[in-house]
Amino acid sequence: MDEETDGIPQNRPAARDVDATDRKILGVLVDDATVSYAELGDRVGLSPPAAHERVKRLRRSGAIRSTAAIIDPKAVRKPLLAFVHIDTKGWGKTPELMAISEHPEVEEIHSVAGDTCMLIKVRTEDTRALEGLLSRLYETPGVTSTRSYVVLSTYLERPVQPGVTTEWPTPRHMAKPLY
């Protein structure tokens, strides 16, 4: 029953947008994806097969990118979190990005407006390992400089929240937009 024979997802079934029930489901699964469909159905007011059907659709449409174990960085000996600005000659060319993302310590690579550098997020065992990673990044062709910012402590770290509101309101205290 697998219709994904073509390589290119040309005729996706319109990817019907996420409704309130879907958001409730996402809210549950973001918190704990190990719940049974029976319990998931209970929580959002659906039968187990219906809940299952919704989740399958959310996966197919890509709304649920994956289901992943969230690891404690300390448990894998990466307690040190840092943000690094990387200046590159090419400024976002694919080869450099590939080279940078090779390192398993690198978790995020962003291009920031108003800045000619990449902002990356890395985790290492300690400052020495960070130093080593930075020098290895510096050796990457195209990288001209790095500046790193060590995080002292993290107070919140959570995945994307679905936001189970009825429908996206403009902030209460703001006037209607003019355009």
Partner DNA sequence: GATTGATGCAGAATTTAATACGGCCATTAT
Partner DNA sequence: ATAATGGCCGTATTAAATTCTGCATCAATC
Site residues for DNA per CB under 7 A = 1, 16, 21, 35-38, 41, 45-50, 52-54
**Residue 152 sits in the site that holds a copy of itself (CB under 8 A):** yes
Asked if 137 and 8 touch (Cβ cutoff 8 Å), the reply is no
* Rounded alpha-carbon distances, angstroms, from residue 12 to 2, 60, 61, 177, 179: 13, 9, 8, 33, 32
**Residue 150 sits in the site that holds a copy of itself (CB under 8 A):** yes
**Residue 11 sits in the site that holds a copy of itself (CB under 8 A):** no
Q: Which one among 5, 10, 11, 158 touches a copy of itself, defined by CB under 8 A?
A: 158
Q: Which residues pair with 86 in a beta bridge?
A: 118, 146
Count of other CB atoms within 10 angstroms of residue 179: 2
Q: Which stretch binds a copy of itself (CB under 8 A): 5-13, 45-53, 164-172?
A: 164-172
Provide the CA 51 distance to its chain's centre, in angstroms: 24
- Of the pair 49, 104, the CB lying nearest DNA is at 49
- Of the pair 50, 99, the CB lying nearest DNA is at 50
